[in-house]
Amino acid sequence: MTARVARVMIDSPVPALDHLLDYAVPSEIADRVRVGCRVRVPLRSGGRIALAYVVELTDSSSFDGALSDIDELVSEVPVLAPEVWRVARSVADRAAGTASDVVRLAVPKRHVRVEKAWREAEPQSGSVTELPLTGYVTDDSITQQGARTALMAIPQLCQTPGGVTIGRWALTVAELASRVLAAGQKIIVAVPDYRDENQVLTALEHVASPDLISRVDATQPAAQRYRGFLDCLHPGPRVIVGNRSAVYAPAADLGAIIVWDDADSLHAEPLAPYVHTRDAALVRQQDSGCALILLSHTRSVEAQRLVEIGWFRACDPERHTQPRIALTDPATDGDAARIPSSAWKAARTALDTGPVLVQVARPGYAPVIACQRCRTGARCRACGGALAITRSGQPPQCSLCGALATDWRCDECDDTRLRLVSRGSERTTEELGRAFPGTTVITSDGDQPVERIPARPALVVSTRGAEPIADGGYSAVLLLDGDRMLAREALTIASDCLRWWSNAAALATRGAPVILVGVAGRLGTAFATWTSAAFAAQELADRRELAFPPAVRTVSVSGDGDAVDAAVARLDPAMYRDVLGPSALPDGGVRSIVRFDYAAGPEIARTLRAAVVENATKRRRGPAAKGGYQRPPTLRLRFDETELVT
DNA sequence: AGCACGCCGACT
DNA sequence: GTCGGCGTGCTC
């Protein structure tokens, strides 16, 4: 019998609409409507038509009242797969957010021409080459259903059969993928950025035919993105590669999820409800029972916690392969120069055979400038932002508003001479160019990243995270500015630095020297001995001591003072550890941070969610009734924020 | 978000 | 007596 009632999810961020509504299915479309289809439905109050997704088809409704008819079937393609809906619902509940906000990350905008072409295309089929997992002592356990593994990547480079140099980790991804594909299942690979994506796609070329590979990446053009998404709806084996939203890709027969470098900040979703790739993957693993692999060069503190509670199994490479790392400590070496003589020497020798990577903390020429006489930081006349010099010989520019300060003058002492306080990549490039005349110097930074460089002698100055891959690897890696990177005020800074250095070290040719300048102590030792798991364990112990995440969970509650107070007051004090704040925010609101144990998560989320719903309906537009300032939402929640100031 | 429903002050 | 102000609540 054909279904008469459709339960739909309204595509709206409004909290009050975050539940399923029942609609009658008109007979004209009854035989074409399927679960997952996009439909348009009337919302009587407002008399408007809303976009919605069919989540369930039944014969009866528990709603006592007349059901409205579905207005229109947008398309027969079931774009909201049942497993994606379940995950969206769970993820939203966990973060006290709206399911449709998560669905927006999961389902790309419809592209009619692409959809038409996809429906007319031949069903795809392709071949898979199964590769053994190399470099690890293991049976099939890593990709077995339900297995959860923190997998330490092998910090080397390798060549594909096509002769392209890629990170060894990408080959591991391809090997794991080949097993899942051979079993007829799908695998999702979520990576931080497109450069990682390209490495994975290169590694996959020799594992699966292109028909079985989908790229789902929010930064792609809309048409390509939609096509990649639609291909995931096909049954059968498939490898799905993308950035953080890839964890929400449709995959009915999901065999495994791999998250590469889970501590990379690009895995932190900036859109509400701000759920991290790792957390979404954990939810999806629970829902589908697939395998979940956190693969990285350094163990994240969060992964370490999962290992320590027994939820994850740690797996290391078969042999202890690590880069050849040396530390130069100014305190003991008596060499306070930014580039100590030992590092100069190593670079000079290495340049005979190939490229040398120089990692620096900041882009630009002089990222920090000050008055030569009184040392007051140079600020923009127009907006007060900090001035910086982006290129040699150019006037200072405001880092905030972009205004040029052509005739700068110190506000304090009227001096006009500038002091260049710090060196950026441009200035390092200039200095190295002088020191090694005739040598090519290449700069790569976040604004203008270079993806690959040839296997020829060159100095490659790069900000952390933007390091190009050198064909065949670097002959030497110099990590400068370690002390400057560490000076940043952030809870995660030590493990971030370890990760940045380790990822750069993994780009070296086997046996090539990697030199970390100016960092000693526990962190330097952890890097030199390649013991990030032990470091993460210590870090986690410290955070337990202080009740900092991820030893505890947090939620920041921000907005109007009284709304924040009311929301926090709803919580039973037995549910949480403590409340920090409220403290004033620059926008006039306040913020409180609640710290609680993992077990209390569902209850806290439920309670705060109720506060958000009430707040969104009850108190609306303030004193400015007509055309005035519409104040930002008066109550905002953010769970497990990584950038909490402490 | 919109829009209707509903309960207190100035008007013909 | 009624018209309409916008606070409150709902949307199948």
Decide if domain A323-367+422-526 falls under CATH 3.40.50: yes
Q: How confident is the model at residue A332 (pLDDT cuts 50, 70, 90)?
A: low
Spatial separation of the C-alpha atoms in residues A483 and A491, rounded to whole Å: 16
Q: What whole-number distance in Å separates Cα of residue A539 and Cα of residue A304?
A: 9
Instruction: Answer yes or no: is A49 CB < 7 A from strand B.
Output: no
Tokens of A94: 């966990």
Nucleic strand B within 7 A of Cβ A622:
no
Spell out which residues of A between 10 and 39 contact strand C, using CB within 7 Å: 14, 16-17, 21-24
Does A274 have pLDDT greater than 60? yes
Supply the pLDDT for residue A83.
98
Distance CA A625 to C1' B8 in A: 20
Q: What is the pLDDT of residue A622?
A: 42
Question: What superfamily does domain A5-119 belong to in CATH?
Answer: PriA, 3(prime) DNA-binding domain (3.40.1440.60)
Alpha-carbon separation of residue A253 from A103, A174, A256, A542, A638 (angstroms)? 19, 18, 9, 40, 32
Tell me, in Å, how far CA of A627 is from C1' of B11? 28
Nucleotide at minimal C1' distance from the A12 CA? B1
**Contact (Cβ atoms closer than 8 angstroms) between residue A360 and residue A481:** yes
pLDDT 10s digits, A34-65: 999 999 999 877 678 899 999 999 998 888 88
Q: Which fold has domain A553-644?
A: Alpha-Beta Plaits (3.30.70)
Query: In Å, what is the separation between the CA of A481 and the C1' of B1?
Result: 50
CA of A566 to C1' of C5 (A): 29
Residue nearest to nucleotide B4 (CA to C1'): A45
A628 touches strand C (CB under 7 A): no
Q: Which two tokens stand for residue A51?
A: 């976009």
Beta carbon of A618 within 7 Å of strand B? no
Looking at chain A, which residues constitute the CATH 3.40.50.300 domain(s)?
126-320
Q: From the CA of A96 to the C1' of C11: give the distance in Å.
A: 21
- Chain C positions under 7 Å from a protein CB? 6-12
Q: pLDDT for A447-461, tens place per residue?
A: 889 999 999 999 999
Q: Mean pLDDT throughout A149-158? A: 98
- The reply to whether A342 Cβ lies less than 7 angstroms from strand C is no
Answer whether any strand C atom is within 7 A of the Cβ of A2.
Answer: no
Bases in strand B with any atom closer than 7 Å to a protein CB: 1-4
How many whole angstroms separate alpha carbon A84 and alpha carbon A107? 9
Confidence of residue A628 (pLDDT cuts 50, 70, 90): very low
pLDDT tens-digit profile of A89-117? 999 999 999 999 999 999 999 999 999 99
Q: Which of A123-127, A140-144, A346-350 has the lowest mean pLDDT?
A: A123-127
Token readout for A508 is 């070296």
Kindly report, residue by residue over A206-262, the tens digit of the pLDDT: 999 999 999 999 889 999 999 999 999 999 999 999 999 999 999 999 999 999 999
What residues does CATH 3.40.1440.60 cover in chain A? 5-119
- Alpha helix (H) ranges present in A143-204? 168-182, 194-204
Question: What is the per-residue pLDDT for A76?
Answer: 96
CB of residue A309 closer than 7 A to nucleic acid strand C?
no
- Please, what's the b/e burial string for A449-458 (b: 16 or more CB within 10 A of its CB; e: otherwise)? bbeebebebb
Nucleotide nearest to A44 (CA to C1'): C11
Q: Which of A463, A165, A116, A172 is nearest to A294 (CA)?
A: A172
**Stretch(es) of chain A classified as CATH 3.30.70:** 553-644
Q: How many CB atoms lie within 10 A of CB A407?
A: 8
CA A617 – C1' C8 distance (Å)?
8
Q: Give the nucleotide at minimum CA-to-C1' distance from A17.
A: C11
Are A208 and A181 within 8 A, CB to CB? Answer: yes
Report the nucleotide nearest the CA of residue A620, measured to C1'. C7
Closest residue to B5 (CA, C1′): A45
pLDDT: which is higher, A13 or A633: A13
Q: Which residue is nearest to nucleotide C9 (CA to C1')?
A: A617
What class has domain A126-320?
Answer: alpha beta
Please report the pLDDT score of residue A379 as a whole number. Answer: 83
Protein residue at shortest CA distance from C1' of C10: A45
Mean pLDDT for chain A overall: 90
Tell which residue, A284, A213, A274, has the closest CA to residue A247.
A284
Q: What is the pLDDT of residue A390?
A: 79
Does residue A45 lie within 7 Å of nucleic acid chain B, judged by its CB? yes
Residue A362 confidence (pLDDT): 82
- Greater pLDDT, A432 or A65: A65
Q: Which nucleotide is nearest to A20 (CA to C1')?
A: C12
The structure's pTM equals 0.93
What pLDDT shows up at residue A487?
84
pLDDT of A624 over the 50 cut: no
What's the pLDDT score for residue A630?
43
- Residue A414 has what pLDDT? 85
Considering only residues 584-623 of protein chain A, which place a Cβ less than 7 A from any atom of strand C?
617-620
d(CA A469, CA A456): 12
What DSSP designation does A246 have?
A: G
pLDDT of residue A635: 87
Measured in residues, chain A has a length of: 646
CA–C1' gap, A577 and C4, in angstroms: 51
Greater confidence (A361 vs A311) lies with A311
Closest nucleotide (C1' vs CA) to A15 is B1
Q: Answer yes or no: is A71 CB < 7 A from strand C.
A: no
Note the CA–C1' distance, A632 to C5, in angstroms: 25
Say whether pLDDT at A328 is over 80.
yes
Distance (Å) of CA A165 to CA A130, A193, A222, A355, A464 = 21, 18, 30, 14, 20
The predicted-structure confidence for A355-386, as pLDDT tens digits, reads as follows 999 998 887 777 777 788 887 888 888 788 88
Mean pLDDT, residues A149-169: 97
**How far is residue A642's CA from residue A418's CA, in Å, rounded to a whole number?**
36
Of all nucleotides, the one whose C1′ comes closest to residue A616's CA is B1
